[in-house]
């Protein structure tokens, strides 16, 4: 009988462990899906703002004050975490560069503006820049920068032009930041032809930590984020750390504009098992051991009484 109780206890313990593991993975899967959705929703929110600039471009002649007033009126830097720079870039042909430069200098005589680097063909020039710090925006060396002069930015410009929709760059180093970032680019057409672009620059560390830091703390989880578009695999962000004990891990892939990102989440199993019923298997095992002990004591007691009855009387 003791053997039978032991076998039943072992089977119940193993099934409980399997159920606990399934529950733990289910809880983590739901949590990580929510984390990824939160990040995607955050970036898509910037897309709504970019399309608002498209409406502005269609209805209004864009000048430095118009662009800045519109952005400040949207409270963009207060509402959108990780957004570092908002730019308005124009397509400038070879014959128009001198007049274009003169126009920008006339609008903002206190700012230094030069189209750079020099090129003989058409250029997509960052005319206006806004940042959280208005004074830093005035000194930003990206003002006047030709986006077609750098391969990653050029590829995004060309893809945005081909699709007519928001396009993300591959990871890039942002001007004035030590962290990796990326750009979102939206073509702004005039009479059917693209004449300008709305350009948003993001600091990845700030974006991810302001979007996911608190949710990740719920289960003491860490995140490694990679750009896995095409044949590439580049780490964008990592908070991975050493975890004592069992680890639960899950990866999920999602799309940001035209890029594929892969998020790998890790969390201590114990953090999730507290919710899933961490002590249920231990309880079953302990209960089974107690039953076996009770049965063993009972058999022993019966055996002792039997021997006492069979013993010869003095």
pLDDT score at 8:
46
Distance of alpha carbon 257 from alpha carbon 184, whole angstroms: 8
Q: What is the CA radius of gyration of the chain?
A: 32
pLDDT score at 3:
55
pLDDT score at 241:
80
pLDDT score at 1:
53
pLDDT score at 275:
45
pLDDT score at 187:
95
pLDDT score at 301:
55
Kindly list the structural domains of the chain, giving each domain's residue range(s) and its CATH number in brackets, ordered by start.
13-39+220-273 (no CATH), 48-206 (3.30.450.350)
Positions of the chain with pLDDT under 50: 4-5, 8-9, 11-13, 16-20, 275-288, 290-300, 304-305, 307-308, 314
pLDDT score at 91:
95
Q: pLDDT tens across 250-306, in order? A: 999 999 988 999 999 998 887 766 544 444 444 444 444 544 444 444 444 555 445
């Amino acid at each position: 009988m003791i053997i039978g109780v032991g076998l039943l206890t072992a089977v119940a313990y193993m099934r409980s462990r399997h159920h606990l593991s399934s529950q733990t993975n289910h809880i983590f899967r739901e949590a990580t899906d929510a984390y990824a959705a939160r990040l995607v929703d955050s970036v898509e929110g910037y897309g709504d703002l970019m399309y608002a600039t498209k409406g502005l471009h269609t209805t209004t002649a864009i000048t430095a004050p118009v662009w800045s007033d519109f952005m400040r009126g949207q409270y963009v830097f207060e509402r959108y975490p990780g957004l570092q720079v908002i730019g308005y870039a124009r397509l400038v042909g070879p014959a128009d560069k001198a007049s274009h430069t003169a126009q920008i200098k006339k609008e903002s005589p206190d700012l230094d503006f030069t189209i750079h680097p020099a090129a003989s063909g058409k250029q997509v020039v960052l005319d206006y820049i806004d940042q959280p710090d208005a004074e830093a925006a005035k000194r930003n060396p990206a003002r006047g920068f030709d986006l077609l002069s750098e391969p990653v930015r050029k590829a995004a410009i060309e893809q945005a032009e081909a699709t007519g929709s928001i396009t993300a760059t591959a990871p890039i180093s942002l001007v004035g930041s030590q962290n990796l970032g990326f750009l979102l680019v939206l073509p702004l057409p005039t009479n059917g032809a693209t004449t300008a672009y709305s350009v948003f620059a993001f600091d990845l560390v700030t974006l991810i930590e302001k979007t996911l830091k608190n949710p990740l703390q719920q289960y003491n989880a860490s995140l490694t984020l990679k750009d896995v578009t095409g044949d590439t695999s580049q780490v964008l962000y990592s908070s991975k750390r050493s975890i004592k004990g069992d680890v639960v891990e899950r990866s999920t892939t999602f799309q940001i504009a035209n890029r594929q990102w892969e998020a790998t989440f890790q969390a201590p199993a114990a953090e999730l098992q507290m919710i899933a019923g961490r002590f249920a298997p231990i309880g079953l095992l302990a209960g089974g051991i107690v039953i076996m002990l009770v049965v063993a004591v009972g058999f022993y007691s019966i055996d002792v009484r039997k021997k006492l009855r069979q013993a010869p009387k003095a």
